[in-house]
Amino acid sequence: MSDSDIQTLDLARARERMVQVQIARRGIRDSRVLDAMRCVPREAFVDPGFEEFAYEDGPLPIGEGQTISQPYIVALMIEAAELRPSDRVLEIGAGSGYAAAVMGQIANRVYAIERYPSLGEAARRRFSSLGYDNIELRVDDGTLGWPEAAPFDAILVAAGGPNVPPRLKQQLAVGGRLVIPVGSKEREQKLLKITRRSETEFEQEDLGEVMFVPLVGQQGWAEDGRRAASNHVPGRSRGRTLPEMIAGAAEPLPDFLDPAFGQLFDRFAARRVVLLGEATHGTAEFYRARAAITRHLLSDHGFTLLAVEADWPDAAAIDRYVRHRPARMGGEPPFQRFPTWMWRNTEVAALIDWMRAHNERITDVAHRAGFYGLDLYNMSGSIRAVLDYLDEIDPQAAKVARERYGCLTPWQKDPSTYGRAVLTAGYNKCEQAVIAQCRDLLLRQLDYAAEDAEDFLDAAQNARLVASAERYYRVMYYGGPESWNLRDTHMFDTLTHLLEAHGPQSKAIVWAHNSHIGDARYTDMGVVREELNIGQLCRQRFGDDAALIGFGTHTGTVAAATDWDGDMEVKRVRPSRRDSYERLCHDAGVARFLLDLDRDEALRRRLLEPKLERFIGVIYRPDTELMSHYSDASLSQQFNAYIWFDETTAITPLGPEHHRPGMPETYPLGL
């Protein structure tokens, strides 16, 4: 089978999954719509270079500031229009031509209008190359319709107007259906279905809130965003805009070192778990804010566990330092793997110094604050930690463990290649071996715990990590949600093991990216990709005892790489998109604030409707930002609170100059 045959097969599978997961599972039942979307190759309607994203459930750029609508919205509108094989259909806002092509699979004739000549010509070429000969397209003002082809059995409008253009209503046949987004403000619309019952009677149905580009034309919006003169309705709504509501609820944040900063978060002090997110892995303000909250919760509210999105063995070196425990000799300095700047930076170093000083004042070592890693990437480090421990406590067990772990050794430097090896060799036994090692270690808990309970907790978690990591790197090869779900489940399990080990009164603070701590059920992650995360699992386990706090920014600089394992760069963050939550916060006009999403019910309800939200990890690619870094989410269901910094700066990575004279050699981040 050739590469092109494989690609065609993969895209066909992706198309079928799109229909099943994104469309049918979300309530679309019309078999004609589902079959039509199975037939039309969406990859043919996106710009070159975006083919691999064609079946993601999101809009894609097509030029002229326009987008191809997400598949679910296309299906929802076509189903609402109740298309039949004999129908004549008018589409306003043809864009790439994708929706017209889907409708052409059902209806007898489709008339499409596009106001941008370049988009119209590109759509015509696609129709011709794909053999769609029942679609006619012209470039014109869509708000005026296509009177010489009227009346139409259905009209679909792929842009939002301030109200329903009268010309379009008049071009409906009796019994015809018009589906259009309408709203008094751009990008805040309701999807309406209007059915013509007689020459003078129209029936209207509200299909819910949507977000479309503006409908520009004589009976829509003007180019500058105002209502067109022929469509102006005197007066304006006295209700507050969403940015005004955000500004009214925003609690301004003081300086990071001001005790009042941490005190703002007393409202979450009774929770068992407080999860602190970040919208990037390289923004100084996010680290400083989390550090200020953490210092307050550790010193004033009985929290003793700080669990971070970092590898367990690396974090264990920090933990020994902050709790004044002897360092393990001979080990590499922590956080040497990409991305080193994520934890080897001045903000983290300052918190580590504070934690060590804080713990020095606590005479009961059991109540000292610990620093723990939740992640599973550093498989080689975990194997080494288990073996070192067993060498000291049980040499015979260490010998057996070395034999069991031997099958993993070839991939310890690049464990992601282990997944490829699984496909061609009999390495399934590794999974059973590492699980057996973990089980054997746990069965000896009573004997080992008598020697040193803290060392046992470390070794037991490393054994669990090896078992999880082996499975993670194996399933990572296949793609899909399995590897993400295994990783986040492992991180959640690690958190629960820590809480159990420290007793029923223990309380934890979690640092992780927004994509991990915002409830996945209310993002594209859960709705479309069937992924879960720590935030979701914490809510399911702890209920209201878990507080999920997200972070966001409008623009500034960020520390990130262009490619995995690449060099860190300080990159400029593009201003947030107009159709994003970040832009709503920017438009609120408050530079930095806390938004408690549980305190203002009216605002919470307004923020239920999904909008775009930006996610920047250790990789940032501004040129493909919409596809690479934005996803749909429901902010008020995703988080309990949201922390906003309008303009932010990149973190400062540690270098040799940060190993200060007189600093003890045991200092974990010294170079």
Active-site residue set: 69
The residue type found at 47 is: D
Half-sphere exposure of 176 (CA within 13 A, CB side): 22
Peptide bond into 151 cis (omega under 30): yes
430, 437 contact by CB (below 8 A): no
Tell me if residue 636 falls in helix, strand or coil: helix
Structural contact between residues 28 and 81, judged by C-beta atoms closer than 8 angstroms = no
- The DSSP element (H or E) to which 391 belongs, if any, is helix 379-393
Q: Whose structure tokens read 């910094």?
A: 645
Sequence-distant (≥ 6) Cβ neighbours of residue 534 within 8 angstroms: 275, 374, 488, 491, 492, 495, 510, 512, 516, 517
Q: Which helix (H) or strand (E) holds 72?
A: helix 71-80
**Composition of the chain by helix, strand, coil, percent to 5:** 45, 20, 35
List the structure tokens of 493: 């399990």
- Taken in order 596, 598, 600, 604, the sign of the CA dihedral is positive
> 3-state class of 140 per DSSP?
coil
Q: Which two tokens stand for residue 189?
A: 């619309």
CA distance 671 to 668: 9
Residue 159 burial (10 A CB sphere; 0-12, 13-18, 19+): buried
Q: Within a 13 Å sphere around the CA of 433, how many CA atoms are in the beta-carbon half?
A: 15
Q: Which of 411, 461, 405, 409 shows the shortest CA–CA distance to 429?
A: 405
Is 132 exposed, middle or buried, given 0-12, 13-18 or 19+ CB atoms closer than 10 A?
middle
DSSP tag of 131:
T
Provide the pairing of β-strand 188-196 with 172-185. Answer: antiparallel
Cis omega (within 30 of 0) for bond into 339: yes
Amino acid at 658: H
CB 53 within 8 A of CB 627: yes
Half-sphere exposure at residue 450, Cβ-oriented, CA atoms within 13 angstroms: 3
Bridge partner list, 60: 68
Helix locations, 264-345, DSSP H: 284-300, 312-322
Question: Which has the closest alpha carbon to 368: 427, 309, 325?
Answer: 325
DSSP readout, 347-373?
HHHHHHHHHHHHHHT-S-GGGS-EEEE
For the record, the structure tokens of 230 come out as: 């022929």
Q: Is the Cβ–Cβ distance between 307 and 501 less than 8 Å?
A: no
SS (H, E, C) 535-563: HHHHHHHHHHHEEEEEEEEEEEEEEEECC
